[in-house]
């Protein structure tokens, strides 16, 4: 495996991690808000809060990892994406900042009732951030960032009038809600919280239909936007078929209320197959026709250094993550809520 | 407004860092002081110290949240506002940036665990151990990021060929001449500002008439820490002067309004410059600049006239420097007065001279001002370069025409974040008073 391929695989994996972890978080924010305004608060709110609390900071890091790594391995991408994405990138930053800060204020700050404004910010940003972030995937298909006489520009007209852009945004939104509901249903089941589980199971099943429809829609929109990419996707069609099969089994298990852990693993596999299939067929371009992993790669010394650090970092990260998960996700006492929360 | 993208990019980056640096510094220093308190609590079996650690941690997490989100801002703004810089310099500096993310990851994970596990372990020592990765994580983040800033001041470890950095040695780039003094100065001043802010809060409570011994213990722990850290910061500052004289003489010369290269150079404090660059009304300390630069009066100090005019830093950094040094001295002096408090005159409040409590209370804001001045000095002092000798700031910024609007948006964001942070912190501690909490935990309320 060449260094550049290794580099992009590492980065893509981080982004996949972000996709899963952040989806759970974003969706949880929305469901949390939704449960408050529909009066189902008592049933699901506490289970969501309990999961979110210790994990929130970790989510952002996946994204930062990806951005820093992308710029590190492929400095040219900073130039093109950085210049073109000033406005959307800044907007996402502001939304992330509001979300992170107000979440912390609500959780650690006010010792009494949950603050309605904080929850509303958390719910709204939970949908706006993935919508904004997903547009970068649409931009990466090419034709929207132009470079004329050394001036990099984002063509807003062709950006918004493009059905592909919208198909990706819709896909991002429904996927977030689907992934999140599938996870929270599993978490509620682990906590032995029947009423919460029933509500969340309903959400999960409800969002599964739109998810698969949006996937298929976006899949065929790529053909219009970027036929070359689409042809590459067809050569590895098996990945997308496997993704569909995982989806069907996962939904079936939730419907039957059986083996919810397995079901969530299948959800991850569903998105994993689609994610790597999409990413693999996207290569060698990071930005179609402008940034390719071969020509825009950093120097070899730096690449080797980054890869060494990455491997060394994994030795620290994986044990830490395992501790975190064991204490909060897989500790029956904590999950059920019988051990104390914050200090 | 008719500013160009470069100026606006500088303003926005400056604004983000202006906000971030306060929270980042607290993020580096406060875990250490929490650990000190918790450790003392375990050692002496004194529940007051454990409660201190607990309450500080509760407030700390709020500031961490703002630190994290402003840190995310600057992380993304590096690419959004300085795409050319990242494209070119990215070849040499990606390594510390990448490592910083790992360090932060570790910090975030263990802080999350720490906050939620106060009573989950049978041995309290295990809980304290969780702070070690937090403190190491935050201090190493500061280390990695500062090496990057050091690189911008004294770049090395690459060859510039046709606008591309080739033949890169990432570790040589990281461990450049500016790294030792810069990193130690940043770490020491972060610890100082954290101790000073916490000391200021304790002093405020005592001034408000609180009598619990809890506050006196808090004051003692934080003021003594502040003294040690501020003193180390000052000593390291002296090394920084020698570093500048050798590797970045134009920065030192601009800071000191030192134009002619000479030995036995005096140090000028304050003053104003006239049209002919003559200093008026300044306080002149003979030989002091030479001593700062090389420990003896005979040291030759390079003057600003040796540099072409378009490569000189702005001269107003003299005031930033002087003010910073003056505050730095206060940060040593006030804690020192605390150490000899029994010998001091004045009306007493809770056993302390009232004016001294007032002084300690001011340590908090003063130390924050010092940190800001220090950063402003460091950044303006590097102008016009973004990578000294290789790339000017004007060639590194985005060409986008929308930076002004973004500046406005972020300004609003930071105002909202900071003011709500203060409100939330105030409410947090008002809603749960120390006395109530001690009663809850079944502790005695000693009043002495």
- Give phi and psi for B212, each to the nearest 5: -60, 145
The DSSP-derived string for B24-89 is: HHHHHHHHHHHHHHHHHHHHHT-HHHHHHHHHHHHHHHHHHHHHHHHHHHHHHHHHHH-HHHHHHH
Question: How sure is the predictor about A143, in pLDDT bands with cuts at 50, 70 and 90?
Answer: confident
Whole-Å CA distances, A77 to A73, A85, B258: 9, 11, 43
Percent of chain A's residues with pLDDT above 90: 1
Which residues 69-128 of B have a C-beta within 8 angstroms of A?
69-70, 72-73, 75-84, 86-88, 90-92, 94-95, 97-102, 104-106, 108-113, 115-120
Mean pLDDT throughout B353-380?
Answer: 90
Residue B222 has a pLDDT of 92
Indicate the pTM of the whole model: 0.87
Name the average pLDDT for chain A: 81
What are the pLDDT digits (tens) for B187-197?
999 999 999 99
A113 neighbourhood in chain B, CB within 8 Å: none
Mean pLDDT throughout A124-133?
Answer: 86
Residue A56 has a pLDDT of 64
Nearest-neighbour CA in chain A from B429: distance (Å): 9
B112 neighbourhood in chain A, CB within 8 Å: 53-58, 324
Name the average pLDDT for chain B: 86
Q: Does residue A173 carry a pLDDT above 70?
A: yes
Q: Which of A108-117, B151-160, B259-268 has the lowest mean pLDDT?
A: A108-117
Q: Which residue has the higher pLDDT, A327 or A87?
A: A87
CA B95 to chain centre: 23
Nearest-neighbour CA in chain B from A269: distance (Å): 25
Q: Does residue A154 carry a pLDDT above 70?
A: yes
What are the pLDDT digits (tens) for A25-41?
888 888 888 877 877 66
What are the pLDDT digits (tens) for A175-234?
999 998 898 888 888 877 788 888 888 888 888 888 888 888 888 888 877 888 788 888
What are the pLDDT digits (tens) for B6-34?
889 999 999 999 999 999 999 999 999 99
Question: How sure is the predictor about A22, in pLDDT bands with cuts at 50, 70 and 90?
Answer: confident
Residue A334 has a pLDDT of 66
Interface test with A, best of B58, B85, B98, B159 (most A CBs within 10 A): B98
Count CA atoms within 13 Å of residue A37 on its CB side: 11
Q: Does residue B69 carry a pLDDT above 80?
A: yes
Does the distance separating the beta carbons of B66 and A82 come in below 8 Å?
no
Q: Does residue A52 carry a pLDDT above 80?
A: no
Interface test with A, best of B105, B173, B437 (most A CBs within 10 A): B105
Does the distance separating the beta carbons of B112 and A75 come in below 8 Å?
no
A11 neighbourhood in chain B, CB within 8 Å: none
Q: Does residue A342 carry a pLDDT above 60?
A: no
Contact call for residues B200 and B330 (beta carbons, < 8 A): no
Percent of chain B's residues with pLDDT above 90: 23
The range of the structural domain enclosing residue A19 comes to 3-336
Interface test with A, best of B74, B101, B144 (most A CBs within 10 A): B101
Inside any domain, residue A343: no
Nearest-neighbour CA in chain B from A48: distance (Å): 16
Does the distance separating the beta carbons of B57 and A327 come in below 8 Å?
no
Inside any domain, residue A80: yes
Q: Does residue B364 carry a pLDDT above 70?
A: yes
C-alpha to C-alpha distance for A29 and A114, rounded to whole angstroms: 13
Count the domains in chain A. 1
Q: Does residue B446 carry a pLDDT above 60?
A: no
Please write down the HEC assignment for all residues of chain A: CCHHHHHHHHHHHHHHHHHHHHHHHHHHHHHHHHHHHCCCHHHHHHHHHHHHHHHHHHHHHHHHHHHHHHHHHCHHHHHHHHHHCHHHHHHHHHHHHHHHHHHHHHHHHCCCCCCHHHHHHHHHHHHHHHHHHHHHHHHCCCCCEEEECCEEEECHHHHHCCHHHHHHHHHHHHHHHHHHHHHHHHHHHHCCCHHHHHHHHHHHHHHHHHHHHHHHHHHHHHHHHCHHHHHHHHHCHHHHHHHHHHHHHHHHHHHCCCCHHHHHHHHHHHHHHHHHHHHHHHCCEEECCCEECCCCCCCHHHHHHHHHHHHHHHHHHHHHHHHHHHHHCCCHHHHHCCCCCCC
Question: Of the candidates A64, A71, A82, which has its C-beta nearest B94's C-beta?
Answer: A71
Residue B19 has a pLDDT of 93
Number of Cβ atoms within 10 Å of the Cβ of A290: 21
Does the distance separating the beta carbons of B105 and A58 come in below 8 Å?
yes
B57 neighbourhood in chain A, CB within 8 Å: 343
Q: Which of A59-63, A84-88, A216-220, A328-332 has the lowest mean pLDDT?
A: A328-332
Residue B18 has a pLDDT of 93
A310 neighbourhood in chain B, CB within 8 Å: 98
Domain ranges of chain B: 1-173+391-448
Whole-Å CA distances, B405 to A260, B79, B122: 47, 17, 54
Measuring CA to CA, which residue among A289, A295, A298 is closest to residue A140? A289
Inside any domain, residue A24: yes
Measuring CA to CA, which residue among B116, B322, B270, B333 is closest to residue A51? B116
Question: ipTM for the complex?
Answer: 0.81
Nearest-neighbour CA in chain B from A3: distance (Å): 15
Mean pLDDT throughout B164-184?
Answer: 87
What are the pLDDT digits (tens) for A232-288?
888 888 888 888 898 888 888 888 888 888 888 888 888 888 889 888 888 888 777
Q: Does residue B432 carry a pLDDT above 90?
A: no
Q: Does residue A113 carry a pLDDT above 70?
A: no
- List the single residue in B with minimal CA-CA distance to A71: B90
Residue A343 has a pLDDT of 45
Mean pLDDT throughout B93-117?
Answer: 84
The tokens describing A16, both together, are 């996949």
Q: Which residue has the higher pLDDT, B288 or A52?
A: B288
């Amino acid at each position: 495996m060449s260094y550049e391929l290794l580099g992009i695989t590492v980065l893509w994996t981080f982004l996949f991690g972000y996709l899963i972890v952040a989806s759970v978080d974003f969706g949880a924010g929305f469901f949390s808000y939704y449960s408050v305004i529909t009066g189902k608060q008592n049933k699901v709110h506490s289970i969501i809060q309990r999961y979110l609390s210790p994990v929130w900071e970790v989510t952002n890091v996946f994204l930062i990892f990806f951005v820093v790594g992308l710029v590190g391995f492929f400095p040219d991408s900073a130039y093109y994406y950085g210049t073109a994405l000033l406005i959307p990138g800044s907007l996402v930053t502001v939304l992330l900042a509001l979300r992170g800060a107000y979440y912390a204020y609500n959780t650690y700050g006010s010792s009494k009732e949950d603050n309605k404004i904080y929850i509303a910010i958390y719910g709204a940003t939970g949908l706006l951030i993935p919508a904004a972030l997903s547009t970068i995937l649409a931009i990466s298909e090419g034709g929207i960032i132009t470079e004329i006489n050394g001036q990099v520009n984002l063509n807003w007209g062709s950006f918004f009038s493009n059905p592909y852009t919208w198909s990706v945004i819709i896909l991002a939104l429904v996927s977030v809600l689907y992934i999140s509901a599938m996870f929270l249903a599993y978490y509620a089941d682990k906590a032995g919280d029947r009423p919460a589980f029933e509500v969340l199971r309903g959400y999960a099943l409800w969002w599964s239909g739109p998810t698969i429809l949006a996937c298929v829609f976006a899949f065929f929109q790529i053909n219009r936007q970027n036929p070359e990419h689409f042809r590459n996707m067809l050569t590895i069609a098996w990945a997308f078929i496997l993704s569909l099969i995982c989806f069907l089994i996962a939904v079936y298990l939730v419907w039957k209320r059986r083996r919810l852990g397995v079901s969530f693993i299948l959800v991850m596999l569903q998105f994993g197959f689609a994610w790597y299939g999409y990413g693999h067929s996207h290569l060698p371009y990071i930005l179609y026709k402008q940034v390719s992993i071969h020509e825009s790669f950093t120097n070899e010394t730096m690449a080797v250094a980054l890869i060494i650090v990455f491997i060394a970092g994994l030795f620290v990260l994986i044990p830490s993550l395992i501790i975190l998960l064991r204490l909060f996700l897989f500790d029956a006492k904590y999950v059920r809520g019988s051990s104390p929360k914050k200090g | 407004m008719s500013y160009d993208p470069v100026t606006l990019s500088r303003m926005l980056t400056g604004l983000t860092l202006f906000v971030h640096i306060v929270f980042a510094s607290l993020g580096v220093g406060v875990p250490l002081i929490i650990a000190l308190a918790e450790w003392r609590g375990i050692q002496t079996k004194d529940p007051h110290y454990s409660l201190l650690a607990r309450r500080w941690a509760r407030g700390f997490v709020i500031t961490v949240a703002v630190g994290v989100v402003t840190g995310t801002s600057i992380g993304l703004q590096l690419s959004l506002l300085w795409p050319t810089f990242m494209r070119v310099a990215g070849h040499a500096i990606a390594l510390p940036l990448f490592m910083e993310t790992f360090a932060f990851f570790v910090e975030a994970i263990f802080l999350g665990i720490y906050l939620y596990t106060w009573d989950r372990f049978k041995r309290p020592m295990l809980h304290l151990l969780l702070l070690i990765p937090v403190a190491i994580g935050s201090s190493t983040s500061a280390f990695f990021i500062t090496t990057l800033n050091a690189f911008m001041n004294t770049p090395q470890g690459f060859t510039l060929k046709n606008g591309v950095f080739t033949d890169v040695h990432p570790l040589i780039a990281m461990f450049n001449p500016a790294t030792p003094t810069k990193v130690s100065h940043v770490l020491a001043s972060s610890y100082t500002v954290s101790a000073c802010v916490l000391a200021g809060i304790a002093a405020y409570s005592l001034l408000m008439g609180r009598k619990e011994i809890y506050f006196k213990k808090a004051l003692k722990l934080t003021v003594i820490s502040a003294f040690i850290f501020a003193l180390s910061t000052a000593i390291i500052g002296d090394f920084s002067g020698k570093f500048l004289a050798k590797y970045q003489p134009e920065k030192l010369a601009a800071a000191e309004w030192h134009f002619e290269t000479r030995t036995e150079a005096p140090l000028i404090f304050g003053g104003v410059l006239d049209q002919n660059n003559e200093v008026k009304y300044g306080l002149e300390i003979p030989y002091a600049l030479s001593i700062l630069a090389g420990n003896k009066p005979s040291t030759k100090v390079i003057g600003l006239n040796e540099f072409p005019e378009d490569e000189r830093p702005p001269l107003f950094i003299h005031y930033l420097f002087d003010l910073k040094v003056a505050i730095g001295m206060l940060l040593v002096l006030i804690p020192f007065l605390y150490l000899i408090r029994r010998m001091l005159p004045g009306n007493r409040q809770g056993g302390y001279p009232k004016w001294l409590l007032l002084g300690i209370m001011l340590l908090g804001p003063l130390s924050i001002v010092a940190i800001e001045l220090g950063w402003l000095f460091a950044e303006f002092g590097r102008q016009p370069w973004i990578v000294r000798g290789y790339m000017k700031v004007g060639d590194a910024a985005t060409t986008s025409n929308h930076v002004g609007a973004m500046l406005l948006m972020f300004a609003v964001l930071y105002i909202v974040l900071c003011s709500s942070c203060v409100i939330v912190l105030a409410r947090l501690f008002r809603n749960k008073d120390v006395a109530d909490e001690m009663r809850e935990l079944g502790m005695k309320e000693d009043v002495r």
